[in-house]
Amino acid sequence: AQSVTQLDSHVSVSEGTPVLLRCNYSSSYSPSLFWYVQHPNKGLQLLLKYTSAATLVKGINGFEAEFKKSETSFHLTKPSAHMSDAAEYFCVVSEWRGNEKLTFGTGTRLTIIP
Amino acid sequence: DAMVIQNPRYQVTQFGKPVTLSCSQTLNHNVMYWYQQKSSQAPKLLFHYYDKDFNNEADTPDNFQSRRPNTSFCFLDIRSPGLGDAAMYLCATSRGILGGANEQYFGPGTRLTVT
């Protein structure tokens, strides 16, 4: 069985400072991992994905995430926060064996302080 | 641009009055999903279609039904909406490649209000 734990329900950072959103996963198989972002009253947009290639994954809008198997982590980072980054972020796991289901974390709300 | 489209974006229905939400896709993906998302929660999978094969989640109420008449369209029918069904309903698609990283592409959602 697969599961995802997002360690912070709410993160606040000042504009221009680094962002770190933490995610730990559990999977019986080689997982695929994703980060999605959701702005208010909008659908989910894929930020980046890990698929067993490079462990450091670069996504859109300057975000990146590093897959660390030994720590079962997939933390999302950005060097410098922008006001437009304020949103809900979901860490998601899917197992490669053809299971079409995604398992979502509970989400982290990112607030940017001007 | 290829995309997932949901109509309407906002839907108001009365308690007990059937309602249908629509989703279409231009991505030609094999799999289509319906999620329910309540305020400040993660999306909850209701069901999905792999081509024409329907897969219902065990805890999806019988009140929720779905149809996929062709590759491009999928509908969510709520037969007798209750106040607890007020939520954002998200449609998503994926390629459905076995063994692949099947990221899902989401539509903008339909916000359902039940009065």
Beta-carbon neighbour count of residue A107 at 10 Å? 22
Residues in a beta bridge with A65: A57, A76
**Mean predicted lDDT score pLDDT of chain B:** 92
CA distance B72 to B24: 5
CA distance B110 to B115: 16
Interval B74-96 mean pLDDT:
95
Cβ–Cβ gap A43/B100 under 8 Å: no
Q: Which residues of B touch A100 (CB under 8 A)?
A: 31, 48, 50, 55, 94, 96, 102
Token output for A93? 């796991």
Confidence of residue B100 (pLDDT cuts 50, 70, 90): low
Nearest beta carbon to residue B106 from set A44, A49, A101: A44
Confidence of residue B102 (pLDDT cuts 50, 70, 90): confident
What pLDDT does A31 receive? 82
What CA–CA distances, in Å, run from A103 to B25, B27, B44?
23, 23, 9
What pLDDT does B2 receive? 64
Confidence of residue B95 (pLDDT cuts 50, 70, 90): confident
Nearest to residue B29, comparing CAs of B65, B73, B69?
B73
The SS3 call for residue A13 is strand
What pLDDT does A97 receive? 52
Q: Is B29 on the interface with A (CB under 8 A)?
A: no
CA distance A72 to A56: 14
Tens-digit pLDDT profile for residues A60-87: 999 999 999 999 999 999 999 999 999 9
Token output for A69? 């198997």
What pLDDT does A96 receive? 54
Q: Residue A52: left if φ>0, alpha if ψ -120 to 50, beta else—which one?
A: left
Cβ–Cβ gap A100/B101 under 8 Å: no
The SS3 call for residue A47 is strand
Nearest to residue A27, comparing CAs of A48, A52, A4, A50?
A4
Question: Which portions of chain A are predicted below pLDDT 50?
Answer: none
Confidence of residue B62 (pLDDT cuts 50, 70, 90): very high
* pLDDT exceeds cutoff 80 at B27: yes
Token output for A46? 């894929």
Cβ–Cβ gap B103/A49 under 8 Å: yes
